[in-house]
Homo-oligomer: A and B are copies of this chain.
Amino acid sequence: MRLLDAALSVVRAKGYAAASVEELCQAAGVTKGAFFHHFRSKDALAVAAAEYWSETTGALFADAPYHAHDDPLARVLGYVDFRLELIRGAPEKFTCLVGTMVQEVFQTSPAIRAACEASITGHAAHLEADIAEAMRRHRVSGTWNAKSLALHTQAVLQGAFILAKATGDPDAARDSVGHLRRYIAQLFNRPATKERST
């Protein structure tokens, strides 16, 4: 849907509040009449865009090669490596729609906030299942749990995107995600170097 793709593109480049309905229509190649035929407000488009983001990124991650590992820890580290591969080029191409939107509207739009929360926690839940299985398989436990570590991976990614935006350098984000990879390897008593699949 052209307006949803336009929202992904324009909001990731300039933020949510700065993206006017006019600009979104122009980017989508539709009239304002068409916009308000589909969405009752810009906020309604944002909620739909967050759900569309969850669907499209969900398909990208579901099809990613790291799921083929038999060892759940290799899947978890493979997820992080896959995220590292995605961080390249201009920040508006690799940063997160819902992290950007919720940064602005967490207080002013409960509906957008809830859609962004669902996107982030829904994504983390897939990783949580692999982390939980890795903890059982490798007999690792601690004062942390799988859900908490899964959410931490999302925090690191979101913060890494902010570093890349602030410095203009994707490597700033990659360095931080590299620290995340080392942390997870340490939690499972593995060397920080790239895991072989088992």
Give min CB distance, A6 to chain B, whole Å: 16
Most buried by B among A103, A117, A175, A183: A103
Q: Is there contact, CB below 8 Å, between B107 and A162?
A: no
Check B13–A143 contact: CB distance below 8 A.
no
Nearest-CB distance from A143 to chain B (Å)? 7
Task: State whether B17 touches A162 (Cβ < 8 A).
Answer: no
B163 engages A151 (CB within 8 Å): yes
- Residues on B with C-beta less than 8 A from A163 are 120, 151, 154-155, 158
How does the 8 Å CB contact mask read for A157-174 relative to B, with 1 for contact and 0 for none? 111101101111000110
- Main DSSP-derived SS at the A contact region: helix
| Known interface pairs A165-B103, A165-B106; A176-B192 also in contact (CB < 8 Å) | no
CB–CB A179/B183 < 8 A: yes
- In the complex formed, the residue of B with least CB distance to A119 is B166
Q: Is A116 an interface residue (CB 8 A)?
A: yes
- The digit string for A8-34, where 1 denotes a CB below 8 A from any CB of B, is 000001111110000000000000000
Residues of B contacting A138 in the complex (Cβ-Cβ under 8 angstroms): none
What is the oligomeric copy number?
Answer: 2
Which of B18, B149, B165 is A179 in contact with, Cβ under 8 Å? Answer: B149
Q: Verify if A102 is at the interface (C-beta below 8 Å from B).
A: yes
Closest to A15 in B: B104
When the two chains form their complex, are residues B158 and A117 in contact, meaning their CB atoms are under 8 A apart? no
**A2 within 8 A of partner (CB):** no
Query: Nearest-CB distance from A122 to chain B (Å)?
Result: 11
Bits for A169-192, please: 1 = Cβ < 8 Å to B, else 0. 000110110110011001100001
Given known contacts A90-B107, A117-B168, A183-B186, what 11 new A-B pairs fall within 8 Å (CB)?
A: A13-B108, A16-B17, A99-B103, A103-B104, A106-B165, A144-B178, A155-B156, A155-B159, A155-B173, A158-B158, A159-B160
